[in-house]
Amino acid sequence: MKQFHTYLTLSCALFVASMLQAQHLSISPEKPVPGEKTMLTYDPAGTPLEGQQALEVTAYFFENDQPPVAQEVEMTLQDGKFTGQLTTTADTKATALSIKSSDGKTSDNRNNKGYKFLCYKPGRSAPVAGAYAAKAMIYGKYGQFANIDPNREKALNLCKKEFRTQPSSKADPAYFGFYARLAKRLSDEAALGEITTEMNRISKDRTANEKQLILGIRLASILENKEAATALKKKILEKYPNGEMAQGEMRNSFRKAEGLDKQLEILAAYKTKFGATEQGKTDLDNFASSIALQFAEAKNWEKFDAYLSEISDPVGRAGVLNNIAWGMSGESIEAEAPMAEKGERYSLQSLELLEKEMATAANKPRHLTKKQWKERLQNIYAMYADTYALLAYHTGNMEDALKYQGIACGQGEFEDADMNSRYAVYFEKTKSTAETEKMLADLIAKGAATPAMKDRHKKLFLANNTLESAYGKYLAELERAAIEKLRKKVEEGMVEEDAIGFELTSLDGKNVSLESLKGKVVVLDFWATWCGPCKASFPAMQTAVDKYKDRDDVAFVFIDTWERVKNKKENAAKFISDKGYSFNVLLDTENAAVGAYGVEGIPAKFVLDKNGKIRFKSLGYGGNADELVHELSMMIEMAGGGSAEGMSSMP
């Protein structure tokens, strides 16, 4: 009896602790109905946000299996608590909240549980159909919106609860398909048996509609039943020649088409058959972009302009314009740019399109708030301003070159050394040598200068001061602060997450698994032959590979992914051979590894410790080869259990 009392006391204590944690956020009404105004009260005491004077709160409304609808929630601080109000959409099933400091640097995700609530039926006796499934989507697919890590076990159990409490939800292809993927991932035999039964039922059901038949294909694929999947696909295409599957087949035929004439033929047929659909509009934009770029490559500018005008999405159109303009810039200050004037006009058009979209937010994606969309557009604008500045330089428009490069660099707080190097050139063309020397000194001290900028600063310093003997000490002092700043940045970025296993084929035909590299510090570098920043980073990566070539406990793995060519192996092998790199390249031909790691852009690097845990993540390349080698070396040493304290100078 005494043991039971102790256990009960502990259980009560845990329950009360859980309730107290949950009480950081309260909502009214406690069981909101879709479309209803809901009051939020948030008490930051005891959370990472304690002491904050302002918050950035975003509500995400989950209606189905698609990304959620985002809504900004204005919060007011009074007596130590924040209050605000949101109104869910009429189709909301569940809501998740992102609660951050106003600068976005600190968040409260309730110890990785997140803040979320369900919507209820009128009368508030039970959640609406799809509520538990929507919550499952949060745990299994969209956790990033609520700042929580994926939890597939919870997601699968929530799916089961949905089907148990709302049997009709089982008929929803999106929910059941998601449930099937989770069951396969977690090897839930009972669920897989249920999925097999449903696949067989759909295969035999003569009344099944297209969405149900497509679900059948997905289930067959999950169960690795190619025969059933092939039979169902044939059945769909015969029964629904103008349906979703036929649309996807035509979309794929465009991607695989050889030659511009064939693509134009498919585009015309697709426009007639599917152009009025929502997906059709997106596909037509993609087709027009691809065709416009091909006409640009052929220097058929009349056709380029014609197909450019068919792109309805202004942000997509701006992207195509910038792509072409960047090519016309010569892509560097030193290169020739015979088409700079035309490129300058195209680049200016891209900026004007973005300016209009920033003002109207007419094409804002549903999962972003207006503020988030504007911030994303500002980042894009900065990249395109970099293009325009280079073209302005080539046409002799130095004032515009400096102005727009300042915008480009300023968006990243002058941290991008590659962009800074161009800014320095434009600056020197328009300012005095004394001003230029000071500007370069500031960027060196910030750790955001390239070797060429350091060399230029040295020349200006000597010309202005004639103290060559003092320069080494001066530069070392500047770099000391930069190195300390970099070390702190690397330490702050250290994580501990499970790395997802893979088995890929190397260029010499060997199968290499992540498991086989256990016991080593592993550097994974996701890249592609068409990726400019990837290729720009490779000389520095070769330096890093050479630096650790005699270390048996360090392995570099370069994963070639997202390639758009037919013979991916030959394409990657030729690139590596032509450049003379000694990289261990693995082929992610199905883009499975890059998807498993949740990569959204390349180059993307992951540094794993000897136990197979991800310790560092890095996206993109800032253009500073010295910094990349130094930063990667620090990550490798820390992941290996060592210290970066002794790394006191740039390589």
The string of pLDDT tens digits covering residues 61-76 is 999 999 999 999 999 9
Q: What is the CA radius of gyration of the chain?
A: 28
- DSSP secondary structure of 423-492: HHHHHHHHS-HHHHHHHHHHHHHTT---HHHHHHHHHHHHHHH--HHHHHHHHHHHHHHHHHHHHHHHHH
pLDDT at 260 over 80: yes
Which two three-digit tokens encode residue 311?
């792109």
Calpha distance 564→256 (Å, rounded): 10
The confidence score (pLDDT) of residue 650 equals 41
The confidence score (pLDDT) of residue 470 equals 67
What superfamily in CATH does domain 497-639 come from? Glutaredoxin (3.40.30.10)
Segment 342-378, tens digit of pLDDT: 999 999 999 999 999 999 999 999 999 999 999 999 9
Segment 555-584, tens digit of pLDDT: 999 999 999 888 999 999 999 999 999 999
The confidence score (pLDDT) of residue 644 equals 46
Grouping H, G, I as helix, E, B as strand and the rest as coil, residue 150 is coil
The confidence score (pLDDT) of residue 473 equals 65
Domain residue spans of the chain: 1-125, 258-489, 497-639
Which two three-digit tokens encode residue 41?
């009260």
Q: Would you put residue 623 in left (φ > 0), alpha (ψ -120 to 50) or beta? A: left
The confidence score (pLDDT) of residue 493 equals 87
Neighbours of 63 (CB within 10 A): 20
Q: If you average pLDDT over residues 251-271, what whole number do you get?
A: 94
Closest CA to 270 of 284, 286, 257: 284
* Contact in structure between 151 and 109 (CB atoms under 8 Å): no
pLDDT at 330 over 60: yes
Segment 239-258, tens digit of pLDDT: 999 999 999 999 999 999 99
Provide the 8-state DSSP code for 68: P
pLDDT at 646 over 80: no
What superfamily in CATH does domain 1-125 come from? Macroglobulin (MG2) domain (2.60.40.1930)
Q: If you average pLDDT over residues 296-311, what whole number do you get?
A: 96
Closest CA to 41 of 23, 55, 56, 54: 23
Calpha distance 326→388 (Å, rounded): 8
Calpha distance 371→377 (Å, rounded): 10
**Mean pLDDT (the chain, rounded):** 91
State residue 80 phi and psi, 5-degree precision. Answer: 85, 0
Amino acid at 385: A
Calpha distance 44→24 (Å, rounded): 6
> Which CATH number describes the domain made up of 258-489?
1.25.40
pLDDT at 26 over 70: yes
End-to-end C-alpha distance for the chain, whole angstroms: 69
* Contact in structure between 124 and 31 (CB atoms under 8 Å): yes
The confidence score (pLDDT) of residue 469 equals 57
pLDDT at 395 over 80: yes
Calpha distance 77→41 (Å, rounded): 10
Domains 258-489 and 497-639 share a fold: no
Task: Give the strand pairing for 554-560 and 585-587.
Answer: parallel
Question: Please, which pLDDT band fits residue 603 given cuts at 50, 70 and 90?
Answer: very high
pLDDT > 90 in the chain, percent: 81
The confidence score (pLDDT) of residue 6 equals 37
CA distances 128 to 118, 199, 309, Å, are: 8, 27, 44
Calpha distance 401→408 (Å, rounded): 10
Q: If you average pLDDT over residues 542-554, what whole number do you get?
A: 95
